[in-house]
Amino acid sequence: MATQEVLLGKSLPELTSWITQQGQPSYRGKQLYQWLYEKGATSWADMTVFPQKWRELQENAVIGRSAIHHYSIAPDQTRKYLLKLADDVIVEAVGIPTSKRLTVCVSSQIGCIMGCDFCATGKGGFTRNLKAHEIIDQILTVQNDFGERVTNVVFMGMGEPLLNLPEVIPAIKSINEDIGIGQRSLTISTVGLPQKIRELAHHKLQITFAVSLHASNQETREKLIPSANHYSLQQLLADCRENVKITGRRVTFEYILLAGVNDLPQHAQELAQHLRGFQTHVNLIPYNPISEVDYKRPSKERVNQFLNLLKQENIAVSVRYSRGLEADAACGQLRANTVLKNQ
Specify the residue, 160 or 178, whose C-beta has the smaller distance to ligand SF4: 160
CA angle 103, 109, 114 (to 5 degrees): 110
* Residue 152 near which of ligand SAH, ligand SF4, none (CB within 5-8 Å, type-dependent): none
Contact partner, 36, from ligand SAH, ligand SF4, none, Cβ < 5-8 Å per class? none
φ/ψ of 229, rounded to 5, equals: -50, -35
Q: How far apart are CA 309 and CA 284, in angstroms?
A: 12
Task: Pick the stretch among 27-35, 194-202, 259-267, 283-291 that binds ligand SAH (CB under 6 A).
Answer: 283-291
Answer yes or no whether residue 256 interacts with ligand SAH by CB under 6 A. Answer: yes
231 binds ligand SAH (CB under 6 A): no
Query: CB atoms < 10 A from the CB of 238, how many?
Result: 12
> Is 331 among the catalytic positions?
yes
Q: Which is nearer to ligand SF4, 108 or 243 (CB)?
A: 108
132 contacts ligand SF4 (rule: CB under 6 A): no
The verdict on 191 binding ligand SF4 (CB under 6 A) reads: yes
Burial (CB < 10 A; 0-12, 13-18, 19+), residue 10, is buried
Contact residue for ligand SF4 among 7, 74, 83, 112 (CB under 6 A): 112
**Does position 167 bind ligand SAH by CB under 6 A?**
no
Is 329 a binding residue for ligand SF4 by CB under 6 A? The answer is no
The pairing of strands 152-155 and 102-105 is parallel
Q: Does 290 bind ligand SF4 (CB under 6 A)?
A: no
Q: What is the dihedral of CA 256, 258, 263, 267, to 10 degrees?
A: -70
Stretch that binds ligand SF4, among 40-48, 110-118, 168-176, 232-240 (CB under 6 A): 110-118
Judged by CB under 6 A, the residue of 178, 254, 263, 328 near ligand SAH is 254
Query: At closest approach, how far in Å is the CB of 328 from ligand SAH?
Result: 11
Judged by beta carbon distances under 5 to 8 A according to partner kind, the member of ligand SAH, ligand SF4, none in contact with residue 288 is ligand SAH
Q: Which of residues 110-129 bind ligand SAH (CB under 6 A)?
A: 118-119
Contact segment (CB under 6 A) with ligand SAH among 44-52, 143-151, 185-193, 196-204 equals: 185-193
Is 116 labeled as catalytic in the residue annotation?
A: no
CB of 312 to ligand SF4, least distance (A): 29
Catalytic residue, candidates 112, 119, 240, 331: 331
Residues contacting residue 326 through CB under 8 Å, at least 6 positions apart: 74, 75, 76
171: contact with ligand SAH by CB under 6 A? no
Q: How many residues bind ligand SF4 (CB under 6 A)?
A: 11
Q: According to CB under 6 A, which one of 114, 186, 237, 240 is a site residue for ligand SF4?
A: 114
Minimum CB separation of residue 333 from ligand SAH in Å reads 7
Q: Which residue is nearest to ligand SF4 (CB)?
A: 122
Least gap, CB of 60 to ligand SAH (angstroms):
35
Please report, as ranges, the residues that interact with ligand SF4 according to CB under 6 A. 112, 114-116, 119, 121-122, 159-160, 191, 212
Q: Which residues are catalytic?
A: 92, 331
